[in-house]
Amino acid sequence: MIELTGLTKTFGDHRAVDDLTFTAPSGRVTGFLGPNGAGKSTALRMVCGLSRPDSGTATVDGTRFTDLPRPARVAGVMLDASAQHPGRTGAEALRLAAMAAGVDTSTVAPMLERVGLADAGGKRVGAYSLGMRQRLGIASALIGDPHVLILDEPANGLDPEGIHWMRGLLDDFAADGGTVLLSSHLLTEVQAIADRVVVLHRGRLVMEGDTDALRGEATQQLVQSTDLDALTSVLDEAGISHEAGNAGLIVDAPPASIGELALTHRLVLTRLEPSGGDLESAFLALTRSA
Ligand SMILES: Nc1ncnc2c1ncn2[C@@H]1O[C@H](COP(=O)(O)OP(=O)(O)OP(=O)(O)O)[C@@H](O)[C@H]1O
Ligand SMILES: [Mg+2]
């Protein structure tokens, strides 16, 4: 498992990661979620020993990454999918990763097959699509047969089929007792791939729990009506909390309750949709309740 304890990193006077404590347990896929600039990559780089924390510790299986005798056999890492040399073929890149990890290069062909690149192994990485580079990056992370995976934005650039594929791969990995920690700035991606979520906002932990709990936090509706003032009064009378959003009212109630209320009071709704699909409103809900 991966454990972060009081991890802190400051650049100049900007605290990018602020007293961050959480655990990514084995057997689970933990999503590390936060908007651009929240500090996800900074935290993951510290976990992988690429950057030194100002204070706090990060361990993999109880040991600091830099103290692991053969790190690639313990933890597979993908921090930047575009880091592969564009002039090498996918198979060459993976062969180098295998040698660096100290495993037999006979593992390369089955690994290309496993990530769906069997036909593209002879192609130069420079000619790969973004999604293919992500698959190659995951193959490089897996080549040492680790039981921990640390992936920074692995779903970036994947199409829906690719996301589905990744979920299957990571689920299998976790079902075998593996630990997965992956970052994303998209709530929908984390919902699709992870079963646990850690939410980071301005370097600080905002929430840690099951993905379903986050979905629950985000079940607010965006409501618009031809008579917003009347709708506001009706919601107030019904004791349903709401606030003004950019495109209408953000209402804390299931869609059916809002629809029934509108029907009873003969109000026309011009919009009724979940407002919790985006990270920002989930954050608002989280920080309000915090
Ligand atoms: N080497 C550095 N020097 C100075 N500031 C840095 C450095 N690395 C990161 N930062 C700053 O730290 C903050 C967090 O950056 P980080 O890359 O960790 O965010 P992130 O959550 O990974 O964002 P994204 O979703 O865009 O990848 C940002 O304000 C960034 O500008
Ligand atoms: Mg990042």
Q: What is the pLDDT of residues 55-114, one digit of tens each?
A: 999 999 999 999 999 999 999 999 987 788 899 999 999 999 999 999 999 999 999 999
Report whether residue 185 contacts ligand 1, using a CB cutoff of 6 Å: yes
Which residue is closest in CA terms to ligand 1's atom 29? 37
Q: Whose Cα sits closest to atom 24 in ligand 1?
A: 36
Q: State yes or no: pLDDT of 290 exceeds 50.
A: no
- Which ligand 1 atom is the nearest neighbour of the CA of 43? 18
Residue 277, pLDDT score: 52
**Position 287 pLDDT exceeds 60:** no
Residue range 260-281: average pLDDT? 81
Provide the pLDDT confidence category of residue 186 given band limits of 50, 70 and 90. confident
The fraction of the chain above a pLDDT of 70, given in percent, is: 92
Q: From the CA of 39, which ligand is nearest?
A: 1
The answer to whether residue 217 scores a pLDDT higher than 70 is no
Predicted local confidence at residue 177, as pLDDT: 96
Residue 230 has pLDDT above 80, yes or no: yes
Ligand nearest to the CA of 40: 1
pLDDT given at position 207:
84
CA 40 to ligand 1 center in whole angstroms: 8
- What pLDDT digit, counting tens, does each position of 16-65 carry? 999 999 999 999 999 999 888 999 999 999 999 999 999 999 999 999 99
**Ligand 1 touching residue 38 (CB < 6 A):** yes
pLDDT at 187: 79
What residues contact 251, with CB distance under 8 A and at least 6 apart? 220, 221, 222, 223, 235, 240, 241, 242, 258
Per-residue confidence at 285, pLDDT binned at 50, 70, 90? low
Mutate to test the pocket of ligand 1, among 4, 7, 8, 11 (most ligand atoms within 8 A of CB): 11
The closest residue, in CA terms, to atom 31 on ligand 1 is: 37
Report CA(251)–ligand 1 centroid distance (Å).
33
d(CA 129, CA 127): 7
Query: Rounded mean pLDDT of 151-179?
Result: 93
Mean pLDDT, rounded, for 225-230 = 94
Residue 218: is its pLDDT beyond 60?
A: no
Rounded to the nearest angstrom, the gap between the alpha carbon of residue 25 and the centroid of all alpha carbons in its chain is 15
Q: Which candidate, 58, 50, 40, 39, places its Cα nearest to that of 1?
A: 58
Atom 30, ligand 1: which residue's CA is nearest? 37
- Would you say 26 and 39 are in contact if contact means Cβ atoms under 8 Å apart? no
Residue 185: is its pLDDT beyond 90?
no
Span 135-151, mean pLDDT?
96
Q: Ligand 2: distance of its center to the CA of 71 in Å?
A: 22
Least confident of 139-148, 206-215, 272-281: 272-281
Please, what is the average pLDDT of the chain? 90
> Ligand 1 centroid vs 65 CA: distance in angstroms?
21
Give yes or no for residue 11 CB within 6 A of ligand 1: yes
> Which ligand does the CA of 279 lie closest to?
1
282 pLDDT above the threshold of 70? no
Rounded to the nearest angstrom, the distance between the alpha carbon of 42 and the centre of ligand 1 is: 6
The pLDDT value given to residue 109: 97
Q: Which of the pair, 273 or 249, is modelled with greater confidence?
A: 249
Nearest CA to ligand 1 atom 4: 11
pLDDT reported for residue 205: 92
Query: Who's near 25: CB < 8 A, 6+ residues apart?
Result: 1, 179, 196
Looking at residue 256, its pLDDT comes to 85
Q: Looking up tokens 């989280």, which residue turns up?
A: 286
Tell whether ligand 1 has an atom less than 6 A from the beta carbon of residue 16: yes
Closest ligand relative to 184 C-alpha:
1
